[in-house]
């Protein structure tokens, strides 16, 4: 009787632990609700600045149009932004990985339309 109780408790604990682990591992993309959030703007500005350095451009961020985040080892930001040089404004899809104080622009590609 006592053993069965302990065993049952053990099973319950194991199941809940596995459940929690699965939730952490199964990371999903979450839409960014507020594209004017200062941190989101900061990430977008970082992406434009990095791209300017890499490609010797002079783009400036106009605004963040939409975006999603995914939390894994760090947070991955996938943003659609509009940026312009002095003449034209274009849309880009940018991906930035942020881990504590480390950031890396992993993708910066023009969006069609």
Contact call for residue 78 and ligand NAG (CB under 6 A): yes
Can residue 55 be called a binding residue for ligand NAG (CB under 6 A)? no
Near ligand NAG by CB under 6 A: residue from 40, 47, 67, 94: 67
Q: Is 93 in the site for ligand NAG (CB under 6 A)?
A: yes
Which residue's Cβ has the minimum distance to ligand NAG? 66
Does residue 90 belong to the site contacting ligand NAG (CB under 6 A)? Answer: no
What's the per-residue H, E or C state across 27-63? CCCEECCCCCCHHHHHHHHHHHHHHHHHHCCCCEEEE
CA dist., res. 37 & res. 30, Å (int): 15
């Amino acid at each position: 009787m006592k053993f069965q109780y302990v065993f049952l408790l053990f099973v319950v604990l194991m199941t809940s632990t596995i459940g929690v682990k699965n939730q952490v591992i199964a990371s999903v993309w979450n839409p960014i609700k507020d594209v004017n959030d200062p941190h989101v703007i900061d990430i977008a500005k970082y992406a434009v600045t990095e791209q300017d350095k890499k490609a010797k451009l002079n783009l400036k961020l106009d605004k963040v149009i939409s975006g999603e985040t995914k939390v894994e080892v760090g947070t991955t930001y996938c943003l659609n932004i509009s940026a312009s040089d002095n003449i034209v404004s274009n849309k880009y899809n940018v991906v930035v990985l942020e881990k504590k104080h480390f950031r890396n622009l992993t993708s910066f590609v023009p969006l069609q339309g």
